[in-house]
Structures are given as structure tokens and as C-alpha cells.
Structure 1
Amino acid sequence: MKTIRSHYSFSLRALSILGAAFCLSFAPALQAATLHGNLDVAGGKSKKFGKNVLVTLYEAAEFTPLALATTQTDSSGDFRIEIAKEKSDSIFFLSANLSPEVRFMAVLGEELPTQAVVNELTTVAASYSMAQFFRTGQIAGSAYRLQIAAQMVPNIVDPATGQVSDVLLTSPNADETNSLRLTRSLGNVLNACVRNSTALTFFLQATDDEYGRTPIDTAEALANLARDPSQNASWIYSMSKYNRPYKPDLTSEPDNWSVTVKLNRTGRDDVFFGGAANVAWDSRGYAWVANNVVQGTPNSTTYNVVLKPDGTPSDGTNGTPDSPISGGGLLGVGWGVTIDYEDNDWFGNFGWGKPKSQTYPTQREGGKRGAGTGSVSRFLPDGTPTSENGYYGPLRVQGIEPDIYNNIWMASLGDTDRTLGSGVWVYRNGDPTDVVSSIVDWEYAPFGVAPVPNGNAAWVTFSGGLAGQNQSGLAKYRLNEDGSLEQTFYEDLGKTLKIVTVDFAGNAWVASQGTSSIFAFSPDGTKLGEYTGGGIFGPWGLAVDGEGNIWISNFGDIAANNDYPYGRVSKICGANPAAWPEGMTMGDPISPNSGYTVPNEGDEVLLPNGDPLYGPGAPPSYKPIMRQTSVQIDAAGNLWSINNWKPRFDVDATVNPGGDGIIIFVGIAPPPPLQF
């Protein structure tokens, strides 16, 4: 956590931005697209601050944005801009400098709208959605990433009106989480900066970037806060109470200033999320979500979910899937989902509870508790399955990942009736008919798999069973030229190991749920350390961000009668010294002791149909972030955290395990390299 610096400096970057604001674009009148806008301070209550202000329309680019047109607001804050193009190859955004250090912004997206508002709330939405591309005082980056980032803006604010979005105003957000009020509180902080020079100086000094540099203006300061949301949290909360044009706002101090968006719609009113487990992105930025059970039951679902980059269900247009998807042998998918290098999606069918029917060959009678033996399903980019019932061989696949040669590596957990082995399986070149495997005793129960960066090898976690009944360990396998799989490393390790992931240097990071710790190993198998702190509690999923630091999802413990106190995600320093905050080293926690939480603001958590989380007539739950099995980072730096189980373990383990939905931390994580 950063503390307030004792000095304030005016950066030369400010001069470059102010200078760019005067660049003009003279569009041919007959082809002009017209934007009518309003600079609206404090919801129209502070018109004197919005008059005679320069407003510039920009088009973002790879290295520096292009100023397309500049105008000036009238006495009511209104302005009008004409340009020749209606559609950007990247994105459009508006910037208004109320003073050299007070900048309001609005992200408009790929198409120029006919009207837009620039105010405190649009600035919050712009800075947070663009946080990973806003490190030099300007929004810049690849068009693909920026367009995905821009799609998160309407989840926070309505660009046409400048009001908080319907997404934040309604379930599963509203006062089921704190994000609606937190967004308003951030708007109040900006308004304080407009009105009070002391508050402005304070806010800029309270929001240094990763290198200790003071931001040049308020828009950059918010982007810094989005990336490091726990810095000076208490001080910023005090600022939010100076003047409160946006109400109702936060009533208590947050442990972090993350703007989050919860989503729980699948595309069909009669199909709910029931234990979403993991997510993978295709080349369009669409999210393919593994989903365990029918909501409210312990039984397998036959559907999985595909979401657009903004979290709304894919609708089948332009060759995209129509969510939810079914067929292809889908039955109670576990943790396993991945996208291969041909943009095909793979799911590992686990098979929970019922049904026991010949309709679903992945389920069979006679197993312990009727458990399934599983299969693997593959879908084309448009959602079409490539087989009727899935591909057989590996049993109850959990981790599944392609290597750089498009070999599909799978961790086969095995069959719980203990008659069938488990092991490591590979579909060479993505071909389910070209299979190699290495079988191990059922006690090992492989769970996670992570191919190494240079291919032909992968790390594998042996969980010892879903509940850690047996010794867990870490292994490494090599795919030889003759097609055989060879185990080249093994070490007993931790307890109830879950996911393993590999950073850019080939180091393996391992989640040990039973010891509430994270292990790291070098490529040659040398143990680099065991790490705790930052809210790590029953870790499960791991993600390496674009700077090499490690994000962790926390499932909590699995003791009977345990009610998970509060969900959270954690962040620790990875192996890249350049990305360590000052004074930290590898494995040190970056997130606060609480982790990054999503508090409730007083409304009970509801399912999409309005029922309580635990079903009709059940006692209320006030925990929007639940037991998590995965965190993944999209191409824009949004962290998707997955609610796999509900908070109460005693209820979940027997009759009603499926958690509700996904929570997106907007702009918080450096995006990893693209895989396509």
C-alpha cells in the first residue's frame, strides 16, 4: 500500500496533453458526423465550472491519441463537434480540461454517438476501463485491446446521459454489492477536486502510480487508483464526503476502491449459472465459461455459457455462439475450459450427481455415489460441437490447456470408485484420435496442468483428491518425439493442490488449498518459496498478469458447518523485479490483508429470477463474492473472478453447491500477452 508523498510536481506530460488539445480537424461538411455534448459538473448543480471549457475529441492509437477536433462549451456547458468519420479503427473519447490538473473524460467507443455527456461519473468509467492503457497521461494501446476495454464503460455509466448505468442500478449489482455507491463516491471525490484546490492537491498526491510518480491530473489519478485500489483508501473515503452531489454513496470506508460489475445472465431465462468454475477467451474476446450444476441442485448441467467482452450473453450474430450452448456431450463440466490456437473451445466433462441415463454416456451406473467417468467436448468458434457425445479416454478432466504446438494437455482426475486410473493425457496437434497418456494410481488425482512456454512439456498438480484425502504433489511431464509421455520431475508438496500456472520465465506457481499458500518452482524444479498473506485463504485458481505478478482466487476452507466469512481475490509479487512495488520482493503480498473484497450494501443477494441465493424461502445471504475457483484476466485488464460455490459449506456440499455468477474487477490487472 502506498502512502501520501510530501511533494507535488507538475509533469511535462501535462504540457504535451494541453498542446494536443489545440489540434484541429477540418472535416468536409457534406460527410460530417455531428456530436452534441454537454459538460455537466455535479449533475448540473455547478454550471459555472462547465462554461468556456475546451473539449477535445480524440481517436486512440497505439502510442499517442490523435486530436480530431476541439471546441469550447457555452455558458450552459453545451458543445458541438463535427468530424468526417463516424467509425473509428480504434475508439473515440472526449477530454475536457477544467483546469490544468482537473480533467474530465468520456469514452465513446468505436462509433461516434449523436450525443454524449462528460461529467464526474463518465470520468470514473473512462479512467477505470482504460486504466491499463493510461500510464503516460494519455490513453494509448492496440485497437483490439482498447475496443474490449471500451465495452466495459456502459456497465458503469450511460455515455448519453452521464448517469449511472442500469447495470449498476439493478440486481445482481445495486446494493447487493458496493460498486454502485462506490462509483458515486468516486464522482464525489472528483467534484471535491473541482471545488477545492487543497482537495485536488491531496488527491493527486494520494494516487501515485507504480513508479511513485504523481499523476498530472484527476483522470490519470483515477486510473492509478484502479490499478492499485487499496492505496490511501481511508484518506480517499474522507475526501468523498467533502461535497456529495452523487447520492446515495458509500456509508462506510471500503478496504479498496475497485469498481466491480457482477453478472449472472446466461442468455436464457430458465438457465442459471450454477457453479461457474473457470473462463477462457477466444480471439474475439468472447468468454467461454465452464459451469458445473443446475442451480439449486448438486446435479450436472448440460449447458455452458458464452459471454461477450462486456459480460452480456453471446447472441449468435456474426458467427458467434448463441448462449447458453449445449450438446457435444456436455455434462457437469468441472474446472476445465480452454481455447486452442485454432480458436476452438475445449471443455472437460466431470459429471456430477444425476442424471444417470444412457442419453449421457459420460455418466455410468456403479461408480461411487454414481459419479461419472467423464469425457472431453470440443466446440467450433460459432458454438457448434464437433462430436455428438464428446471424446473418451481421460477421466473427469479438470485442468486442460494447449501448448504452443496446439497439443491439448489434460489432467485426468480419475474415477471415484477407484477402479479406474487417473493420469496425464495429450491430444497431439489438437487431434482427439492422436492420443498419448501416462496413467498414475487413483490416489494422485491430477488436477491442474500448465504447459511450459517453449512447448513439449507441462507441469501437473496431483491433488490427492478433491478434498485432499491423500498426499498431493507437483510433477512435470515431457512429450517425447516418439509420442511417449515421460515424468521428469516429482515432489510431494502442500495439501490439496489445485491449479498450477506458468509465468513468462517458465516458473511454476502452485495453489495449495489445504495450507493456504502459494508455492513457486523454477523451470528446473528448484523450489523458490512458499508464500502467504494478502488475503490468501484456501487458494484455488491462479493467473499471471502482463507484468508477471500473480493473482489468486480464494475458495476458503472446507470444514463442516463453515460459512465463508467473505470472498476475496489476492495478488502477490511474481518473479519479475521490475514489477515489484517499492520495498517488496518475490512472493510478498500486494493486496491488503483482507484481499480485494466486494462488500454488500444492505440488499440480499438474489438469483436472476429474484429468488434468494439459497432458493425460495431460504434465509438471505449478503455475500456477493463467494467461494472462488478461478481468476482470469481479459485482453483489457479486467479481472474476472468466478463464484463457484455458495458461502455455506455444510449446505453446499450436500444439496446446493452452485455459486451465482461472475464478478469483474474493472481495469485492475495488466493484461497478459495475446495468444493469437
Structure 2
Amino acid sequence: MRRRHGVLLTAALLAQLAAGPSHAAAPAGWDPAGQCGVVRSGDTPLGGAEVTLYQAGDGRGAAPRVLARTRSAEDGRFTLDYRRPRDPNAVLYVLADLGPAPTRAPQAPAAPERALQDRPPRHGPDGPVTLAAVLSGAGAPPELVVNERTTVAVAYALARFTGPAGVSGTRPGLQNAAAIAHNLADTGTGDIAAPLATPPNGALTSTMAEFNTLANLLASCVTGDACDQLFDLARRPGHERPRDTLRAAVDIAHDPGHNAAALFALADTTPRYRPALPAAPDAWTVALRYDGNGRELDGPGNIAFDADGNAWVSNNYGYDADPAHPVCGGRTVLKFTPTGHDAPGAPYTGGGLYGAGFGITVDARGSAWVANFGFQGRGCPIDPTDLERSLSQFAPDGTPLSPPEGWRGHGIAQPQGMAADRSGTVWAADCGGGGVTRIPDGDATRAREVPTPALSKPFGAAVDPDGRLWVSGNGNDSVQVLGPDGTAERTVTGGGLRRPLALATDSKGYAWVSNSGILPVPCADTTADDLTTAALAGDTGPRPGASVTLIAPDGTPAPAPFTDGGLFLPWGIAVDGDDTVWVANFGGHRVARLCGTDLTACPPGHRTGQPLSPPGTGYSSDALERNTGLQIDPSGNVWLANNWRTVPVQTNPGGHELVVLIGAAAPVRTPALGGPAQP
């Protein structure tokens, strides 16, 4: 890195504008900076690329700002001199366009910074090859490498922030997405980044090979003659044909199941990066595992995001890597940063935590609430009777706000699903108690029990945009709707409801219910052994009743449930910022994605409930195990909890990872307080 000093003559500045590094205009007082780099395809340098440094637009659709522009030398190397933005959270990224040199009109002898600023961002209109790299988010390397791997990282991590004008978006989603790009590709070397290259990823899943295959796919255009094929195959139905390699990769990230086999065949023609996939995937989803410090996740149950996009995670068991060792209930709640690291001080303890299950939420004030179900492995010597009847509450920094025994009473018994609304009310479904607990304004001293006699084994909970609570009854195939004050409004049956688990509401007030078909939740008179028996029976294929039910705001269910798109053994469910529906499976290693009530977000001709994931397989991945919780963050990443192992040994059946589908969904504003809202 080098700094520019002194005052340059106008002639030198004009020469620099024509052929060398350039400054962009910036307010007085901004610090000068410099960045060296190289443009490569594999080990092959790419000279003559126009390299442009941008500051991403601050806000949806805002135009990015050009900070510097130059051209790579014959050996692919370049230097960008620019002014650092005042905003320390500004997202900076580099595009290398290998199109022909632009025709430049003669410039008046004015400051080249102004001349460069006034030129519109080009983003590859002169040629089919545009490579990219994120400069911000992980510290600038001594030499920035721009290649196909860094381009795939940008395309996926920033998929939901890359539009016709360039990269732009709202906080914190845009900033988090830029940081996540560094989990995929190392911008200092151009290699696979350490989080993707090492356990729990690396050789343990196929994601690294898939990522390399995507890089090979771009290389087929960069150094070959397959650009037209790439752009034709990557084009999403109903959208314009991509005009460069970056946009092609973004389109694949948006619709990963489209033309998957044909794209693999094209990638196989340019095996530049290894290891690569030996066969075509059913979809090009990039599934990245997180395991924190590697010694804390044991049966993660569900996920809730705070306003900054940090993930709070409930944990069934105390950690032990050996499934044969009996484990007792988990006494921690996890908090992960958007890049999958432990938040400061995490994991957190106290507040009555013990064996949390599916219940976790973040309220309007940023407090995290956890439902203590009392999970423990067979052989644990602790009697959970007194430990499975409480809720725990934590401040944003992890300080317990509930007493050492947790918040108790008010009908709390083996609590599971939790939800919060915009007014501050917190709800918990009491699976072992036959009702729900309502906590107005998040004040547990004012909590009260709300009986739900129409439900057996209340399990899932979700708040709609009107503040109403929707609760599933796993024991009697029903859903009940309560008003914001707890008044029973209606009971829903039919519509395919069968052993329902989680619920989610969309922006229009519709409720989506995941029907496991066969899974009895282990509360009241049902045990974990019963759940295990049913789950293993369901591994032979999709079970009868495995489906999703759509219920209108007035409580009317759709005539028939939806059964396609990878609905194998549905559990967790969430709706993204486009009202698209995502479903986790407690078996089958796959995720389903369905067209929601906003048909404009679906390919032309699609209907509500029609699968957007491949109909026969869904989005499958060997990074997934038995998934319960599924939630979507402000960057458009889909987070899943690997709750149990594929073959669960009941002494310690817990899984040990979270799995994140990078850039797969439309971002949502967090915390979730009643239907998804776009950031």
C-alpha cells in the first residue's frame, strides 16, 4: 500500500486519468489511501482490465460512488489511489472489466477527481467479463486478488444487493453481507477462505468443491469462448439476459436450481480450480457451516436475529462430541455474529437456562427470550421436572435479566415456540401445559396464562402484521388464532394440517404452517424416543402428510396443502422479504422453497405454493442434517439449525452446526415482530 503526497501538476493528473490510477472527488479532510492488486484467472494474469473501486450505495437502489479507476498492466497488477470515505462502515468493492478500452472524450483541464466522479459507473457494459472482489469487511490485504473465486464470493454474499446500477443497500444487511464474502474467498490470495476450507466445512461437505466449480463456470467465459452459453443458461425466467460474468453468477445465486445440470457441464470444460464437483448438483446453493468455537453447539433448536443481524441460538444439550456420552440439558444460549463467530462474551449462561428447545425470540427492545423445555439425553441423572417450566431473558450484551430459576408460573410448562410483536408483547407456547403465556411489554411480572382448549400440545408460534398470535397444535392437527390481547378469535382445522410444527406469517397476514405428517413433539405424554421412532421411519422418503398449509388472514385454509419442492419432513418455516416461503426438514438433508402470495417475486406463470426449489429434491446439501429452526437474516442468508444427527443416539443425539445458505433469500428486517418486512 502506498500514499500519495504533495500536489500533482494538471498535466500529470490528466495523464493519470487517461492511463493510470485516479482519485475520486472527496470532501476535504478525507484521508488518502492506496491499494495494490492483481487480476488473474487461476494463475494466469489478466492485463488490460479496467479496474474500478466503488463505494456501495447507502440505501436501496442508491447509486454507488466511483472512488478510483485504473488499468491492469500486462502482469495483471494495478494500483488504486483513492480517498477513504468518512463512513467507517462504507462497503468498498472492486470490479475488473476485461472489455475493450472505452473511448474517452477530451477532458478540460479540471481536477481529474471531478471528471472521474461524473462518469457513470460502467459495471462491464463494454465486455462479457467482469470480475469482482470485496475490499472492505476484513481488512485490506497488502495485495488484492481479483479472480473467479472472489467474484463468486461477491455474487453470492451480495446477491441481494447487486442491481443494475451496482451494489447498494441498507444497514446492517449490506455491511454484514460484505463481511460474509470473506468467509468464502480470501482476497489476499484468491484462494478458498479459511472458514470454507476447514472443518466444519472443507472436506467434510461438498460446498468447497461446489464453490470451485462455480469459479470454473466463470472461467469458461473468462479464458474461453463460452460466454454466450453461460449467459443463456444463467438467465432467470422473466429476467433480462446477464451481460457479464458477475451478473451471471448473481443470477445463479438467485435461482440456483435453474439449468443446474447444464451449468455443471459447462463448468466441467474449464477445470481451473480444484477440488471440483464430480457430478451436477440439484441446485447451486452455497451452504456454509458455522460451529462457533467448536465446543458449544449440541442440538441447536432455533434461531432469532437482533437488529444488527446477530443470531441468538437455543441449545438442547450440554456439549459433548461423543454421542455415546449421556448429556444433560444445555445451560447456555449462543449468540453468533453475522459471520458466524461468537459474539463478545458468548455463549451466555444463567437466568434459569436448561435444555432449551424450539423457543427463542428477540423482542422490540432487543432482549432475547429462551424457552426452557428441559431437553436432556438418556442417562442424565438430573430430574428435569423443576427445570422445564421457565423462560430465560437476556439483555443484548448477554446479561441474564431473569432470576437464577428463570421466569416461572403463568402456565409455563415445557415451553416451545416463542414470538414477539411490535408493541413489546412476548408469547410462549406451553407444549406441556395446554395454553400460551402472554408477557405484555416484555414485563414478566405481568405475565398471564391464556388457555387454548382447542389445541393439544401447542408448539409453534408466530405473530402476524396485525399483532395476532398463531399457534399450532401438534397433538390435534389444528391452529388457533389469538388477538393481540389474548382473546381467542378462531380455530383452524383441515387444509392438510397434520402433526403441524412451526408457523410463519407473511406481509399480507397469511399464515404458512409446516406439517410434519408424523412427528409427535416430546411433551406431556410423548417422549424423545417416540420422536426418534417417527423420524427414522420418515427417512425412507417423504411421508404422507408432509406438507405446508396456507391459511388466509380470516382463518380459511387453502383447499389442499402444498407437497412439492423438497417437502420431506417439514419442521422450521420462514417467509423472506419477497414473501417467498422457506421450509426446513427434519430429515432428507434438504430445504424447500415455495412461491408465496406475492406472485411478482416468482417466475412467470407460477402460482402460490408452487415450488421454486427443484420439485423432486428441493435444495439438498450434505452440510444439512436434521433441521428444526430456519430463519432469514437482513443480508438474505437462510440459517438452519442442525438439531439432531442423522442417526440420533438418545444419550446425545444433538447436531453441532448451524448451516447458512449464502444470499439465497430476500433480506428481512430484524428482529421479526409480525410478518416479514423489507429492510
TM over 0.5, shorter chain: yes
Q: How does 1:312-391 map to 2 (within 5 A)?
A: 312-314=341-343, 316=344, 322-353=345-376, 363-364=384-385, 372-387=387-402, 388-391=404-407
Q: How does 1:88-103 map to 2 (within 5 A)?
A: 88-99=88-99, 100-103=127-130
Question: What is the alpha-carbon distance in structure 1 between the residues aligned to residue 556 and residue 452 of structure 2?
Answer: 23
Matched with 2:224 is: 196
Matched with 1:14 is: none
Question: What is the alpha-carbon distance in structure 2 between the residues aligned to residue 494 and residue 527 of structure 1?
Answer: 9
How far residue 210 of structure 1 moved from its aligned partner, in angstroms, is: 5.4
Amino acid at match of 1:254: P
Matched with 1:584 is: 606
Question: What is the alpha-carbon distance in structure 1 between the residues aligned to residue 550 and residue 310 of structure 2?
Answer: 31
Q: Once the two structures are superposed, what CA deviation does each residue of 1:266-324 show, in whole Å capped at 9, x if it has no partner?
A: x4x6x33111111111122211111101343453111121111001111x2xxxxx121
Q: Once the two structures are superposed, what CA deviation does each residue of 1:137-167 show, in whole Å capped at 9, x if it has no partner?
A: 5211114221010111121111111111111
Question: What is the alpha-carbon distance in structure 1 between the residues aligned to residue 237 and residue 328 of structure 2?
Answer: 46
Question: What is the alpha-carbon distance in structure 2 between the residues aligned to residue 335 and residue 242 of structure 1?
Answer: 45
Tell me which of 337, 347, 352 is aligned to 1:308.
Answer: 337
Tell me if structure 2 keeps the 8 A contact 1:577–1:586. yes
How far residue 438 of structure 1 moved from its aligned partner, in angstroms, is: 2.0
Question: What is the alpha-carbon distance in structure 2 between the residues aligned to residue 407 and residue 235 of structure 1?
Answer: 50
Matched with 2:205 is: 177
Question: What is the alpha-carbon distance in structure 2 between the residues aligned to residue 352 and residue 276 of structure 1?
Answer: 11
Tell me if structure 2 keeps the 8 A contact 1:300–1:355. no
Tell me if structure 1 keeps the 8 A contact 2:454–2:491. no
Matched with 2:534 is: none
Amino acid at match of 2:370: F
Amino acid at match of 2:195: V
Question: What is the alpha-carbon distance in structure 1 between the residues aligned to residue 407 and residue 670 of structure 2?
Answer: 28
Matched with 2:480 is: 475
Distance change (3 Å), C-alpha of 1:167 and 1:176:
same
Distance change (3 Å), C-alpha of 1:170 and 1:474:
same
Q: Secondary structure at the match of 2:303?
A: strand
Matched with 1:128 is: 156
How far residue 31 of structure 1 moved from its aligned partner, in angstroms, is: 3.6
Matched with 2:677 is: none
Tell me if structure 1 keeps the 8 A contact 2:298–2:315. yes
Q: How does 1:483-502 map to 2 (within 5 A)?
A: 485-491=487-493, 494-502=497-505
Question: What is the alpha-carbon distance in structure 2 between the residues aligned to residue 161 and residue 625 of structure 1?
Answer: 29
Work out whether 1:664 is the aligned partner of 2:663. no
Question: What is the alpha-carbon distance in structure 2 between the residues aligned to residue 354 and residue 182 of structure 1?
Answer: 36
Distance change (3 Å), C-alpha of 1:675 and 1:329:
closer
Question: What is the alpha-carbon distance in structure 1 between the residues aligned to residue 253 and residue 301 of structure 2?
Answer: 25
Amino acid at match of 1:571: R
Matched with 1:453 is: 465
Matched with 1:36 is: 36
Tell me which of 411, 415, 428 is aligned to 2:429.
Answer: 411
Distance change (3 Å), C-alpha of 1:29 and 1:672:
closer
Amino acid at match of 1:462: G
Q: Secondary structure at the match of 1:334?
A: strand
Matched with 1:634 is: 633
Amino acid at match of 2:69: T
Matched with 1:563 is: none
Q: Once the two structures are superposed, what CA deviation does each residue of 1:643-671 show, in whole Å capped at 9, x if it has no partner?
A: 111112xx43x323201201111101111
Question: What is the alpha-carbon distance in structure 2 between the residues aligned to residue 639 and residue 572 of structure 1?
Answer: 14
Amino acid at match of 2:330: T
Tell me which of 255, 260, 264 is aligned to 1:237.
Answer: 264
Work out whether 1:58 is the aligned partner of 2:79. no
Tell me if structure 1 keeps the 8 A contact 2:22–2:82. no
Matched with 2:169 is: 141
Amino acid at match of 1:364: T
Question: Normalized against structure 2, the TM-score is what?
Answer: 0.82
Tell me if structure 2 keeps the 8 A contact 1:479–1:486. no
Tell me if structure 2 keeps the 8 A contact 1:40–1:118. yes
Aligned residues: 583
Q: Once the two structures are superposed, what CA deviation does each residue of 1:558-593 show, in whole Å capped at 9, x if it has no partner?
A: xxxxxxxx3101001111121121221011111112
How far residue 134 of structure 1 moved from its aligned partner, in angstroms, is: 1.4
Tell me if structure 1 keeps the 8 A contact 2:504–2:574. yes
Distance change (3 Å), C-alpha of 1:80 and 1:463:
same
Distance change (3 Å), C-alpha of 1:667 and 1:443:
closer
Matched with 1:512 is: 515
Tell me if structure 2 keeps the 8 A contact 1:90–1:146. no
How far residue 233 of structure 1 moved from its aligned partner, in angstroms, is: 0.8
Matched with 2:552 is: 522
Distance change (3 Å), C-alpha of 1:332 and 1:595:
same
Shift >6 Å, 4+ stretches: 27-30, 354-358
How far residue 427 of structure 1 moved from its aligned partner, in angstroms, is: 0.2
Question: Normalized against structure 1, the TM-score is what?
Answer: 0.82
Tell me if structure 1 keeps the 8 A contact 2:306–2:670. no
Where structure 2 has 5 or more consecutive residues not aligned to the other structure, the ranges are: 1-17, 100-126, 518-544, 673-679
Where structure 1 has 5 or more consecutive residues not aligned to the other structure, the ranges are: 1-18, 317-321, 366-371, 415-420, 465-470, 557-565, 600-623
Amino acid at match of 1:283: A
Amino acid at match of 2:389: G
Question: What is the alpha-carbon distance in structure 2 between the residues aligned to residue 221 and residue 303 of structure 1?
Answer: 43
Matched with 1:467 is: none
- Which stretch of structure 1 is more off in the superposition, 164-173 or 108-117? 108-117
How far residue 217 of structure 1 moved from its aligned partner, in angstroms, is: 0.8
Matched with 2:276 is: 249
Tell me if structure 2 keeps the 8 A contact 1:336–1:347. yes
Q: Secondary structure at the match of 1:347?
A: strand
How far residue 190 of structure 1 moved from its aligned partner, in angstroms, is: 1.3
Matched with 1:647 is: 646
- Which stretch of structure 1 is more off in the superposition, 377-386 or 202-211? 202-211
Matched with 2:291 is: 264
How far residue 220 of structure 1 moved from its aligned partner, in angstroms, is: 0.8
Matched with 2:532 is: none
Question: What is the alpha-carbon distance in structure 2 between the residues aligned to residue 572 and residue 354 of structure 1?
Answer: 35
Question: What is the alpha-carbon distance in structure 1 between the residues aligned to residue 214 and residue 376 of structure 2?
Answer: 46
How far residue 452 of structure 1 moved from its aligned partner, in angstroms, is: 1.9
Tell me if structure 2 keeps the 8 A contact 1:437–1:485. no
Question: What is the alpha-carbon distance in structure 2 between the residues aligned to residue 95 and residue 344 of structure 1?
Answer: 40
- Which stretch of structure 1 is more off in the superposition, 207-216 or 421-430? 207-216
Matched with 2:506 is: 503
Tell me if structure 2 keeps the 8 A contact 1:357–1:364. no
Tell me which of 507, 528, 540 is aligned to 2:571.
Answer: 540
Q: Secondary structure at the match of 1:353?
A: coil
Distance change (3 Å), C-alpha of 1:534 and 1:328:
same
Distance change (3 Å), C-alpha of 1:138 and 1:24:
same
Tell me which of 123, 143, 152 is aligned to 2:180.
Answer: 152
Question: What is the alpha-carbon distance in structure 1 between the residues aligned to residue 245 and residue 230 of structure 2?
Answer: 8
Question: What is the alpha-carbon distance in structure 1 between the residues aligned to residue 246 and residue 512 of structure 2?
Answer: 35
Q: How does 1:62-101 map to 2 (within 5 A)?
A: 62=59, 63-85=62-84, 88-99=88-99, 100-101=127-128
Q: Once the two structures are superposed, what CA deviation does each residue of 1:498-525 show, in whole Å capped at 9, x if it has no partner?
A: 0111110101111110110100111111
